[in-house]
Amino acid sequence: MPKRERHQQLLRLIEENPFMTDRELTRQLKVSIQTVRLDRLELGIPELRERMKLMAERSYDTVKSLPLHEVIGEIVDLQLDKSGISIFEIKEEHVFSRTGIARGHHLFAQANSLAVAVINDEIALTAAADIRFIRQVKLGEKCIAKAYVRSMSGSKGKVELYTYVGDEMVFQGSFIIYRSASGMDSEGGEDHADRH
């Protein structure tokens, strides 16, 4: 593939998924890791860690429903009552020691806490969850969870969530989140001014 075409493809891949590792890019572009690194340098694309830091520094809404330290994974994008993205790296303490496979409750915890965090209310609790583990996640993999608020009616919100490793879906969930009515006025609009 000509260099110019490869550069365009690299830019498109990173635009679609800014969390792609160099190794994932080598598989997609069918080139060596050195070629990917050189191409990134030429195009001025920072390495993954730097891209994650830049996304985390971007302004996004503040989580209301739970303290930030209680969210499993690092929130890199959040638009309350709309969508959110978090990243969770699987480390030694998250896997079964004999197999190196992540324990399911860690993937669920990332998904569940993001589904709650995306709700624009000080009290938000999971009322029901329909989840599916699609493939095993292994030590060292980065889980990118994407939550989408699909509907809000009264005290309940429906959140759909998909977790990816690279461009492969590994977990899927549909959450019904209970929210207190305190976050809505009689027209269902903004928070009451006296709540802070």
In CATH terms, the fold of domain 3-56 is Arc Repressor Mutant, subunit A (1.10.10)
183 phi, psi to nearest 5 deg: -80, -5
Q: Are 114 and 73 in contact (CB under 8 A)?
A: yes
pLDDT of 193 higher than 70: no
Give the model confidence (pLDDT) of 8-52 as tens digits: 999 888 887 777 888 889 999 999 999 999 998 888 888 877 777
Q: What's the predicted TM-score (pTM) here?
A: 0.68
Residues 25 and 10: beta-carbon distance below 8 Å? yes
DSSP notation for 87-104: EEE--GGGB-TTT-BBPH
Locate 43 and state its tokens: 């195009």
> What pLDDT is stored for residue 55 in this prediction?
67
CATH architecture of 59-195: Roll (3.10)
| Mean pLDDT (whole number) for 121-136 | 94
Q: What residue segments make up the domains of the chain, in order of their start?
A: 3-56, 59-195
Residues 64-107: pLDDT tens digits?
A: 877 777 889 988 888 999 999 999 999 999 999 999 999 999 99
How far out from the chain centre does Cα 79 lie?
Answer: 12
Q: How confident is the model at residue 57 (pLDDT cuts 50, 70, 90)?
A: low
pLDDT in tens, 104-124: 999 999 999 999 999 999 899
In order of 34, 82, 94, 164, 180, the CA distances from 119 in angstroms are: 42, 8, 26, 21, 10
